[in-house]
Structure 1
């Protein structure tokens, strides 16, 4: 059983074994904020049981760090607990199609955990924002900030200023290469992480979307590695190296097998002026 562990003043994190996903909880004197809601309604009910071992306070807000199913499919369960669902405006736009695709694919999997995913009806947050908002937990405010595009177009981070904590979602991942998926923005991700870093101090606790809690130094390292990926893509495209040859044409900070989508997306997102005709 994962359970919630306190990582700062009234800030808890539960690290769940399937997909190594984190769910975070912040308490004020009037209630709770939960960041991310797990990968199915069944798993979200486990989250609620775990958080009730920590606090009997009402759940005021359930926030989605981005659209992906492992962070959003428990929305309905948290809403039933009384939470107002909140996300970035882009996440609200893209979540329905993403959820439909995931449920369809999950129905074809043999793993029984995917049956619960396929059976989950997704609930899209109604409260959205574009740049930043503050949410009131009574004796403390938390800040939701959209620092830019990176892992997805709708990434947000949660800052708890009085506890010096940043809940970073999948803009930061511990122990693995970052999640360069079909909807990532590798050329913008480094600058997005610069904004995240601007919200931290040398003593900050940073909670990634997956893996163990990290510090500012870890985020700086991951920012630099993602920056190398972006600059390498730009260099290869500028020299006319075809996208199909890019992974074999350079040294990368991660296993090249993890960068297939990063390279493809990076080439697609470069302005025409930064691309040359392929070398022949």
Structure 2
């Protein structure tokens, strides 16, 4: 017998979140009198078909727009299928994310071409891209009829093109991958580990003590969780600065640092941190 239980759970008035086991991805719907805004679309056409069916099952209104929180594949590979299934709608992202989405996707396709044993390989490679149609550089407001939603680019962190979605009347903030609950925040080869803590400072200014925070991956959290994650990211950034200022070479930093997470997760963070440091914050070896 088919399960007709809605996957989307209302976490605040007319804000629904669906959590998917693969990569612990969250898809969020924000409802207004004009319809629904979907934030992120999952990581393949096959997964997006399930998302579209869950939207239909919820029955909260037509889809009127999509937001991609950044250019990584697990947040936008469902775009084309969602539009195919639920209708042509605007797709919003930051300028940076839109400009780098195809390049980022090509890296993902190349990775999975070589991943013969991965159970999701075929569905990822079968996915067609659908880039954003509407972009912005700093802040934009979307009109959902009786509700305004704000898209804010708070700075560089997980990527250079992250955005957060603020629903002021419901006191909800959707953090994308600037906030992650299922694992420590992923610091990859396109992250900005020294700037991420300051970016989260701006995000925290958009919250109250009661704000419902939806991370890109994992369970719904609160402002205190984001504050704690900001502290840990700050420790990563300051540890890199301290080690570099004392002349510790990058090759020895992971072994010598007192890190908040498993050093194996911080290989890119240390490399990028050393690269991004200004010359004045490095103690260069004397020749």
Q: TM-score, normalised by structure 1?
A: 0.97
Does residue 1:99 correspond to 2:105, yes or no? Answer: yes
How many residues are paired up? 280
Does residue 1:247 correspond to 2:247, yes or no? Answer: no
Q: Give SS of 2:146's match.
A: coil
Q: For the Cα contact (< 8 Å) 2:31–2:60, is it kept in 1? A: no
Aligned-pair RMSD on alpha carbons?
Answer: 1.4
Distance of 1:265 and 1:278 partners within structure 2: 19
Residue 68 of structure 2 is aligned with which of 64, 82, 98? 64
Q: For the Cα contact (< 8 Å) 1:170–1:209, is it kept in 2? A: yes
Q: Give SS of 1:259's match.
A: helix
Distance of 2:60 and 2:10 partners within structure 1: 16
Does residue 1:157 correspond to 2:164, yes or no? Answer: yes
1:200 corresponding residue in structure 2: 207
Q: Give SS of 1:178's match.
A: coil
1:132 corresponding residue in structure 2: 139
Q: TM-score, normalised by structure 2?
A: 0.95
Shift of residue 88 of structure 1? 0.4
Change over 3 Å in CA distance of 1:177–1:56 after alignment to 2: closer
2:88 corresponding residue in structure 1: 82
Q: For residues 1-280 of structure 1, what are the structure 2 equivalents within 5 Å? A: 3-55=7-59, 57-80=61-84, 81-109=87-115, 110-278=117-285
Distance of 2:139 and 2:83 partners within structure 1: 22
Deviations 1:171-215 (A, max 9, x none): 000141111001000000001000110010000000000000000
Distance of 2:175 and 2:66 partners within structure 1: 15
Which blocks of at least 5 consecutive residues in structure 2 are unaligned? none
Q: Give SS of 2:142's match.
A: strand
Q: Give SS of 2:58's match.
A: coil
